[in-house]
Amino acid sequence: MKRFFKPIEKEGSAKKPLLSPSKHGAENGDALPEVDVKKEPLKFLTWNANSLLLRVKSNWPEFSNFVSNLDPDVIAIQEVRMPAAGSKGAPKKPGELKDDTNSSREEKQILMRALSSPPFGNYHVWWSLADTKYAGTALLVKKCLRPLKVSFSLDGTVSKHEPDGRVILAEFETLRILNTYAPNNGWKEEENSFQRRRKWDKRLLEFVVQSSDKPLIWCGDLNVSHEDIDVSHPEFFSAAKMNGYVPPNKEDCGQPGFTLAERKRFGAILKEGRLVDAYRYLHKEKDMECGFSWSGHPIGKYRGKRMRIDYFIVSEKLKERIAECEMHGKGIELEGFYGSDHCPVSLQLSEGCKEDK
């Protein structure tokens, strides 16, 4: 663990910024190794791994080769599904992997061994984890890049993590990167999932409006398909029900992630935050082969049913620098998904002008 996690200097220090705002098992005060430092990241990758440990055990050679070829500066991962450190009944440490039992130590070793092998050994790693094998996010940043600050909540508090480890926010000299795993809207009002998602969207809106002082790149599994063009079968998803249940509010009806209420709130976040959907900015037409990031199970009623719920959202002031934004999976057989039900999505920015920096 020591080779991956090092603390960021406390506020007010005159020293160079260090790696992480939490200990992460590193020796306190260790500075980043001397490397050629880049001012800002230009190439990004986001992926809902649907259990990072399972991907390491089953799909790692293929995914490693993909990352080596793409060579992103930043990798944002959602649904890590690794539990936070802390023994039973004790406070958890969401920035550290659990290793207080034989099974958790073995799983941690498997995961860290994979992240020390090429190309991942070229990255520093930050975690934000749930108490159990649920949700969680990770952020990998090339060692030649030095974030000024890394935090784990929408209010920017370094020591505080969002419930279930749903946020990692990295601030660089010229921009911020926000990696989020949005909570699923769910099917029923009485299970409080609707309320949970409404609160999340409200807080996201507040964050993007209040963070307009610096360009933002917001990525991850946002669990919403904004327009009809963002799903393969709009009628199917609009009419979807769970066990015949129909919510009392018509705007809450349909597939979670494609309800009218969620789509309206997402649109409001983009509009009021002055944000641009990078993929749709470049790709105006529906692409039934490569235009979706999530695919239903190849067997059953969701076969061939796909949604675009993984995004790169950027500040309007960055839109002229969007060079590429691609989804790397295709077809109903989940080619390029590397074992997950989500495929990786990438963003490439062109270099900014000196005045922008």
Active-site residue among 221, 230, 277, 310?
A: 221
Tell me if 108 sits within 8 A of 98, measured CB to CB.
yes
At position 194, the amino acid (one-letter code) is F
CA atoms within 13 A on the CB side of 124: 25
Compute the distance between CA of residue 197 and CA of residue 65 in angstroms, rounded to an integer: 36
Compute the distance between CA of residue 126 and CA of residue 167 in angstroms, rounded to an integer: 11
Active-site residue among 24, 124, 181, 277?
A: 181
Compute the distance between CA of residue 110 and CA of residue 6 in angstroms, rounded to an integer: 21
Residue 341 is among the residues annotated as catalytic for this protein: no
Q: Is 101 helix (H, G, I), strand (E, B) or coil?
A: coil
Q: Beta strand 137-142 with 123-128: parallel, antiparallel or unpaired?
A: antiparallel
| CA geometry: angle 226, 184, 334, nearest 5 deg | 70
Residue 134 is among the residues annotated as catalytic for this protein: no
Active-site residue among 24, 124, 161, 342?
A: 342
Compute the distance between CA of residue 273 and CA of residue 99 in angstroms, rounded to an integer: 40
Compute the distance between CA of residue 138 and CA of residue 159 in angstroms, rounded to an integer: 16
Residue 302 is among the residues annotated as catalytic for this protein: no
**Residues with catalytic roles:** 181, 221, 342
